Amino acid sequence: MAEININKALKELNDEKNRLWEQFRSKRPDHLLENKHEVFEWKFEEAINDWWENGEDEFNELVEKHSGLKNKNFENMRVRTYYWSKTHKCKCSEKLRPCCHTCHNGKIYFEEDLDNYYGIELYQYDLVIGGPNHGNLIVNGGHPDNENEDDIVYKLVTDNDNAIHIETLKSFTYHHFDYFEDLELKYQEDLDNFQIFIDNFYANGIKNIYTILRDNYLSIIGYSKKKRRLHNVLLNTSERLILQIEERLQTTINNKYRITLISVREHIAEIKKYMENVNQNILNCVHRIENNLNTSFVGREILSYL
């Protein structure tokens, strides 16, 4: 085994690991995830038109229950859609404040940006669909057509209301984002499993390379300049790999992979010690010959042939 071979074996292992990563990443559903907001926007336009067409009477009945909303014109109203996230985890505890401003009772929610549909101007009214404030109607303070300076919030939909069309709009929103978040969750699960596979693939690959090195080391060892350089490279590479494994062992990894890494580290250390012992034994043997012959020149001559 020449010097280039051991380096080539490690390089080929790295190349194969990178190739497998690229192959896995090519299956990520980016093309779907990138379009989830755009798709929602044009679907929302259809849904909101259907809601006004079929649910306007229902909406009017709901607002008439509130004296402050009677005889109002709701043409200048923006629908704000919210959905619960499956991919973002709450990090709150009972002793801490909410982990973010969209955290509610241990769950994270997001508002879908509909500025392309509504624009960025302040509307007279906001109707909340989805999320923890579902069914709220907000009379926006500061709007020139409203008398209130601060927002006034009405609980338009309660558990006792039969708001079929508003609930349908909420279900439409949840269904859309649940679909895409399920895709992300599935990819994350696949990513976690693939990380376990690739970690073990690489660790076992290194172990196999060192097994081959051990079995062929006696044909590698020598004392020419080239072979001495190879010997030093092998020892340095072994030390570097051991240090890398020890650094990885300091990170958060599953117990099965930790056992694998410890096994690989011990395997490399054992073979490194074997290489050092073989090298030292040859040197000791040659030195004994020198001592028996009472000369300091024969050792150099013998080593030049090894």
Is the predicted pLDDT of residue 142 greater than 50, yes or no? yes
Which residue in the block uniquely carries the two structure tokens 């009405």? Answer: 154
**The one-letter amino acid at 22:** E
pLDDT mean over 54-59:
86
Strand partners, 129: 81
Q: Considering only residues 206 and 3, tell me which one the structure prediction assigns the higher pLDDT.
A: 206
**Distance between CA atoms of residues 153 and 140, nearest Å:** 9
Residue 67 CB burial class (10 angstroms; 0-12, 13-18, ≥19)? exposed
Is the predicted pLDDT of residue 236 greater than 70, yes or no? yes
Residue 59 CB burial class (10 angstroms; 0-12, 13-18, ≥19)? buried
Is the predicted pLDDT of residue 3 greater than 60, yes or no? no
Q: What is the pLDDT of residue 100?
A: 64
Which residue in the block uniquely carries the two structure tokens 């043997």? Answer: 285
Strands 125-129 and 77-84: parallel
C-alpha dihedral over 214, 215, 219, 223, to 10 degrees?
Answer: 10
**Distance between CA atoms of residues 124 and 113, nearest Å:** 18
Query: What percent of the chain shows pLDDT beyond 90?
Result: 30
Q: What is the pLDDT of residue 228?
A: 74
**Distance between CA atoms of residues 269 and 239, nearest Å:** 8
140 phi, psi to nearest 5 deg? -70, 120
Domain residue extents for the chain = 3-26+194-303, 30-185
* pLDDT-based confidence at residue 264 (cuts at 50, 70, 90): very high
Q: Considering only residues 103 and 43, tell me which one the structure prediction assigns the higher pLDDT.
A: 43
CATH of domain 3-26+194-303: 1.10.357
Tell me the three state secondary structure of residue 52. helix
Q: What mean pLDDT, rounded, does the chain reach?
A: 83
What strands, in cross-sheet order, belong to the sheet with 103-104? 103-104, 107-111, 77-84, 125-129, 136-139, 152-155
